Every structure is written in structure tokens, then in C-alpha cells.
Amino acid sequence: MQPRNVNPQRENKLKITETNLTTVMEFVLLGFSDIPEFHRFLFGVFLVMYVIILLGNGIIILMTRIEPTLQTPMYFFISNFSFLEICYVSVTLPRMLMDLWTQEGDISLVACATQMCFALMLGVTESLLLAVMAYDRYVAICNPLHYSLVMNHKACIQLVVGSWISGIPVQIGQTCQIFSLPFCDSNQINHFFCDIPPMLKLACGDIFMNEMVVYIFAVLLITVPFMFILGSYTRIISTILKLPSNTGRSKAFSTCSSHLIVVVLFYGSATITYLKPKSIQYEGTDKLLSLFYTILIPMFYPMIYSLRNKDVTQALKKLLPKSLAW
């Protein structure tokens, strides 16, 4: 991939330190610089996708607030998940749209670090929230008589708040660690947002320990919640298969299928991106994977939850006539 021609004055915005090393003070997000003729087309496509993400997740949040049948712990978690997706996409997509429109990619070191930090924190929150949703399904199916007692309103709020704040100190520390490295070879990030893999490629010197820290946190924050989800669904499936009626089994599976699809999409893309060996990291592939988990998957989440859930479909049918009447 050939990088775009960058303004020398912009590229040379480097600070000379007393040790005669150059430290990058501003980066350039190359984004889709190899296909400048498609920038306007891509801007339109991504803008439409952003609107779909906002509307789709916004409608789910609205439905869970105004429809009495959806005011249950499961839909409380789904509404929080939809809000999380809006935040997650908004960290990267508006910036990418601006860069496509202006055909520039200047981003200061502080702005780049802030974007990375929020993207990482929200990614961790998503991982933990998926685990919480799996726990909710486990209690509902495996211990239905205790469900209302275990998943009371206070417990639901505590689980959601815990998911939101647990990753904050870890990811702030990881961001500080990444940006404490010397970026002295180039200030051009061959990506459309500031993410760990492309940032590490710009760092000088021995970054083995930094890479190991990234892998360790990825294992802890991705693999551990995934293993918890896997264990929960092992028990859930075992319980469902023991149900006496086909109707009961079908209904139980239908309440879990949407969540399982989301789990596979999220953890599959996250594992490939952050845990694959460095030797097979190709910049073009990384960029496509990032588009997949930062834009495409969040766009499909509302469809997955609405099309595969009768309660949401019925609530949507009620909401649409009211909206049209208004």
C-alpha cells in the first residue's frame, strides 16, 4: 500500500529533544489514501452506515424505555449494549468521515491517545457486558425460580456499572504505556483510527515487553470473559436439552440465539485482531478487520436483536404506528 503524499511541513512537525532523537508530536492517519478517487463515495457509504447505527440502536433504547413488556433485566442489558455501540462507533467514525471529506488526516498526539483510550475502554466494556448478558441468560434458564431475586434492579445496575468502569484504569495505563514509546521513524499511521497494532509498528527500539503486555491484557480482557460465556452456555444448553417439551426448548433457544451470534462476531474479530501472531499481520487485512468490528458489526446488532426476537418485533410494530401518527 502506497502512502499518500503528505505535506512536508505537516510531516515534520516533530519535536527535537536534547538527546538528538526526534519525537513525533503529530500523526497523520493515512486511512484510505491509496484510493483517493473513492473518498467521496466512501464518505457517503460510511455516513449512511453511521446514521443506520444511530437510528437502529436508538430505536432499541427507546423501545426498552417505553414498552412495558421490554422492561426486564435482559432488555435492560440490551439497551445498555445499544448505547455502548453508539458510543463505540462515535469514537472512530466521525473522525474518519472528516478525514475522508477533507482528504487530510492530521491528528495530534493527545487526540490520538484519547481516541485509542476511549476505543479500548469501550471495547473492554463490550466484552464484560456480553459476559453479564450471558450470566443473565444462565440465571433465567438454569435457575428460573430465583431469577427475579438474583437479577433484581439493584444487581442489574451494579453489573452494568461494573462493566463500564472496570476497564478504565487498565486501558488508561495501557494507553500511557503505548504513547510513552518513542515514535521516531515516521508519523504516518496506516489506519483510519489510532489503534494498538498500527501504533506499535511506528515505535522505535525494542518493543517486545510492550507487545507482551498487550497480549496479556488481551487474554485477560477478551479470553477470560469469553471462557465465562462459554461455561455459561455449556450449562444453558445442557439445561435446555433436558426440557420436556419442544416448545420450551425452542423458546429457550430463541432467547439466547441473538446473544450467541453477537458473541461470535465480537470475540471472533477481536481475537483475530489482537491475538494473532505478528508474522501474519498485514496492514490491509488489519484495516478490513477493523472496519468489520468497528462499523459493520455494530450496524448489524439492532437487526440481530430485532429480527430474531419476537418481543422486540412486536414492540417495534407498536412503536412505528405511533411514530407515523406523530
- CATH number of the domain at 162, please: 1.20.1070.10
Q: Are 311 and 79 in contact (CB under 8 A)?
A: no
Per DSSP bridges, beta strands 188-189 and 26-29 are parallel
The pLDDT assigned to 321 comes to: 62
Tens-of-pLDDT digits for all 326 residues of the chain? Answer: 444 454 544 444 444 434 444 466 788 998 887 788 888 999 999 999 999 999 999 988 988 888 888 889 999 999 999 999 999 999 999 999 999 998 888 999 999 999 999 999 999 999 999 999 999 999 999 998 999 999 999 999 999 999 999 888 888 988 998 888 887 767 888 888 998 888 888 888 778 888 888 888 888 888 889 999 999 999 999 988 888 877 777 777 777 888 888 888 888 877 776 666 554 445 566 677 778 878 888 888 888 876 667 777 777 777 666 554 44
Cα–Cα distances in angstroms (integers) from residue 259 to residues 145, 186, 306, in the given order = 22, 42, 12
Burial 263-297 (b: 16+ CB within 10 A, else e): bebbbebbeebbeeeeeeeeeeebbebbbebbbeb
Would residue 255 count as lying in a domain? yes
Contact 211, 177 (CB under 8 A): no
23 φ, ψ (degrees, to nearest 5) = -115, 125
Q: What is the pLDDT of residue 52?
A: 94
User: Is 2 domain-assigned?
Assistant: no
- Count of beta carbons in the 10 Å neighbourhood of residue 101: 12
Residue 79 included in any domain: yes
pLDDT at residue number 1: 43
Residue 41 contacts by C-beta under 8 Å, 6 or more apart in sequence?
none
Q: Which pLDDT score, from 0 to 100, does residue 115 have? A: 95
Say how far apart CA 57 and CA 76 lie, in whole Å. Answer: 13
- What pLDDT does residue 18 have? 40
- Would you say residue 315 lies in a domain? yes
What's residue 213's pLDDT? 85
Predicted confidence at residue 274, as pLDDT, reads: 66
pLDDT score recorded for residue 125: 94
3-state secondary structure of 16: strand
Q: What is the pLDDT of residue 209?
A: 85
* Residue 3 placed within a domain: no
Q: Is residue 29 part of a domain?
A: yes
> What is the pTM for the complete model shown?
0.84
Domain extent for 114: 8-325
Give the model's pLDDT for residue 110: 92
Overall domain count for the chain: 1
**Domain for residue 1, yes or no?**
no
